[in-house]
Amino acid sequence: MNELHFRALPGIPLVEPGADLAALHLEAAGRAGLELRGGVLVVCQKIISKAEGRLVDLNDVEPSDEAREIAADHEKDPRHMQVVLNETRRIVRRGGGVLICETHHGFVCANAGVDASNTPADDVVILLPVDPDASARALRTALLERGAGPLAVVVSDTFGRPWREGLVDTALGSAGIAPIEDLRGQGDLRGRELVVTTPATVDALAAGAGLLMGKAAGTPSVWVEGVRLEGDGSVASDLLRDPSTDLFR
């Protein structure tokens, strides 16, 4: 790859449960004069979750004693904390108003990915997709069935990072592309064998696309050209580190 081209898809309307995401993206691409062929569609997790109905009305939530305790410690809404606990496999650490959780998927992120921004109402929160890889496959299949492609789909979300300030978009799910490019066994510029070099391709694409997204920009999807569409795989199986080799647990 010598060049990559990132282009935001403008004009995608606010997504509601049951929305036809394939149709919305094809219409947006048509208005922008783009053909969704030979590239990667990076889609913000939030519109995937909205279309899949991953919304919770906090007025329907009864917080547990644990949720109330955490909420009191961190000046949070106990109903919100209960939703976070429902989405959490384990609490990694909490303090300073921040709750770092491992989700049932295996992601480690703030508040188990439960988000109160850009929701349909003040007391509604948005959850991560149940299976982001499956969400990516479903959207890719729907696009292919309507004449788009070849293409890959990456579902992204914004995560914080240990040891560094700032947020970066990260891949939660993918389809039609290998999440990792395995360069082990190849040589560097001096011919020395690479033994650990495995770039996370879909994370890099998500991060690049994130520069064109934004919570206030109303741009949930980005089309990327110049990427090799080789292989297929799952973020869950290819990018989430096995606990037996994770030195930071």
pLDDT bucket at 185, cuts 50 / 70 / 90:
very low
Residue 238 pLDDT: 87
Asked whether residue 188 carries a pLDDT value surpassing 70, the answer given is: no
Architecture of domain 5-54+129-242: 2-Layer Sandwich (3.30)
CATH topology of domain 55-126: CofE-like fold (3.90.1660)
Mean model confidence pLDDT for the chain: 90
pLDDT bucket at 118, cuts 50 / 70 / 90:
confident
Give the tens place of pLDDT for each residue, 13-23: 999 999 999 99
Residue 124 forms beta bridges with which residues?
57
Give the tens place of pLDDT for each residue, 213-242: 976 567 999 999 999 898 888 898 888 888
- pTM of the full structure: 0.91
The torsion angle over the Cα atoms of residues 8, 127, 154 and 208, rounded to 10 degrees, is: 50
Q: Domain residue spans in the chain?
A: 5-54+129-242, 55-126
Beta strand 5-8 with 221-225: parallel, antiparallel or unpaired? antiparallel
d(CA 115, CA 55): 10
Asked whether residue 122 carries a pLDDT value surpassing 60, the answer given is: yes
Give the tens place of pLDDT for each residue, 63-87: 999 999 999 998 999 999 999 999 9
Asked whether residue 195 carries a pLDDT value surpassing 50, the answer given is: no
Share of the chain above pLDDT 90, in %: 71
Same fold, 5-54+129-242 and 55-126: no
Residue 244 pLDDT: 82
Residue 147 pLDDT: 96
* Structure letter (DSSP) for residue 151: E
Q: Which of 55, 63, 218 is nearest to 123 (CA)?
A: 55
